[in-house]
Amino acid sequence: MTVTETLAAFPRTALTHRPTPVEFMPNLSAAVGGVDLYVKRDDCTGLAMGGNKARQLEFYLGEALEQGASAVLITGAVQSNYVRSTAAAAAKLGLRCIVQLEQRVLDMPELYHRSGNVLLDHVLGAEVRTFPEGENEAGADAELERVAAELAAAGERPYVIHLSGGHPPLGALGYVDAATEIVEQAKSMQIDFGTVVVPSGSAMTHAGLLVGLRALGAADLRVIGVCVRRAVAAQRERVHQCAVATAGLLQMDLELNIEDIEVTDDFLGPGYGRMGPAGKEAILQAARHEGLLLDPVYTGKAFACFLDYAARGALGDRPALFVHTGGTPALFGYGAGVAG
């Protein structure tokens, strides 16, 4: 079977505008010199200001609907794009939505806690709760399970989207599918991409792309994941585990060696959710050269890597593609720190 036929066996609900465009960035290509730079506009997936999470939610919420769920629960950072996208999807599908915001980034100004994605969570009608820890994925998931048990006892049918490992990575299937778009678009545009650069956090997007491209025979297409939360060793292991589990879901016999997974933490900067000079400069370069809006948490850091590697010749001489995973609302949560 083809990759598309294999994916069709999974429950799915339509939430995104697909395919998203692949656009040439002429001004930044000229600025760095030596390589043509393109962007895959997954900020244009359409659901409540777009982003990569909408692709992932098509599979999670497809399963939720198949199970007859009445409520969906998810956990994430205060400015989580995943939480905001889930709130939007739940509203669209008529599901009750309970979101749990974790305190991952301490000592942030008031604007961070009431604007950006947080504002949209409330606008979209989600029930917002908090979790006091920021680096306890198992604990955050356990709290969701506790709330889900209460809902079930009251007659609801809750569906939990887990953050920690050990659960089927249905979200990664959204980026196996995105890999087919990239391969098809490259063919139709007659572009021989040599490298794809993507933010690497929960690992679903990164792992899904890897599995999809390998399954499609694009083994020579280099995929670079830019760490936005963890150092290299921990992130490489997380991506590998997710990729192996994703291939397993698809019943694909793929050779996925941990040594083949390329990640860098050179642009992680001050840490998760904190913007360093390189990330800020990348946000300004994208905006002022291409009218492209990035965010401080994910895409700003990954784009800093993209530009740095291009300028140093580390992307080679074949065209390179940046996967823009969205996150635009977070710009407002970070306020003057972005442009000031």
> Alpha carbon 87 to chain centroid distance?
16
Q: Are 207 and 172 in contact (CB under 8 A)?
A: yes
> Alpha carbon 312 to chain centroid distance?
26
Residues 6 or more apart whose Cβ sits within 8 Å of residue 258: 236, 237, 240
Nearest to 300 by CA among 329, 264, 336, 324: 324
Catalytic annotation, residues: 80
Which phi and psi (to 5°) does residue 75 adopt? -125, 150
Q: Where are the beta strands (DSSP E) in 65-167?
A: 71-77, 96-102, 127-131, 158-161
Angle at 54 between CA 21 and CA 211, to 5 degrees: 75
